[in-house]
Amino acid sequence: MLRKNEGFILAELFLAFSVWILISGIFFPIFMQLNRQFTLLDREKVASHLLYEYLQALETEKRETENTTIIVKNIPYVISGNQSTEVCVQYDNTSDQTKTICESF
């Protein structure tokens, strides 16, 4: 009823382990890059949303532009406007570079 089963040999174990190392070596950097891109897109989405809300408030309340800092998820977003009709949102992305999104109204 029971056959003689000697289990895995050492070569099969090393082969299976090397396949797992190879697969994780390929997919781990891809996962890290996708995670970084998701973070950048999330910050850009928040900045665009803040810019849109600020422009709406300027239009409905008919007030002057002023410099404002809003902190979302521990990231400061600086909203600034000049005397013309342009408002900008400035924030730091993950690579310690400052990115600016501007819109005129």
Phi-psi region of 33 (alpha: psi -120 to 50; beta: other; left: phi over 0): alpha
Residue 78, domain extent: 10-104
Asked whether residue 51 is domain-assigned, the answer is: yes
pLDDT band at 44 (very low <50, low <70, confident <90, very high): very high
Closest CA relative to residue 51, chosen from 85, 101, 12, 1: 101
Asked whether residue 19 is domain-assigned, the answer is: yes
Q: In degrees rounded to 5, what are phi and psi of residue 67?
A: -80, 130
Asked whether residue 39 is domain-assigned, the answer is: yes
Asked whether residue 5 is domain-assigned, the answer is: no
Q: For the segment 71-84, what is each residue's pLDDT rounded down to a tens digit?
A: 998 999 999 987 66
Dist. CA 78–CA 63, nearest whole Å? 18
Q: How many helices (H) and strands (E) does the chain have?
A: 1, 4
Q: For the segment 85-100, what is each residue's pLDDT rounded down to a tens digit?
A: 788 999 988 777 899 9
CB 50 within 8 A of CB 77: yes
Asked whether residue 40 is domain-assigned, the answer is: yes
* pLDDT reported for residue 83: 67
How many domains in the chain? Answer: 1
Asked whether residue 2 is domain-assigned, the answer is: no
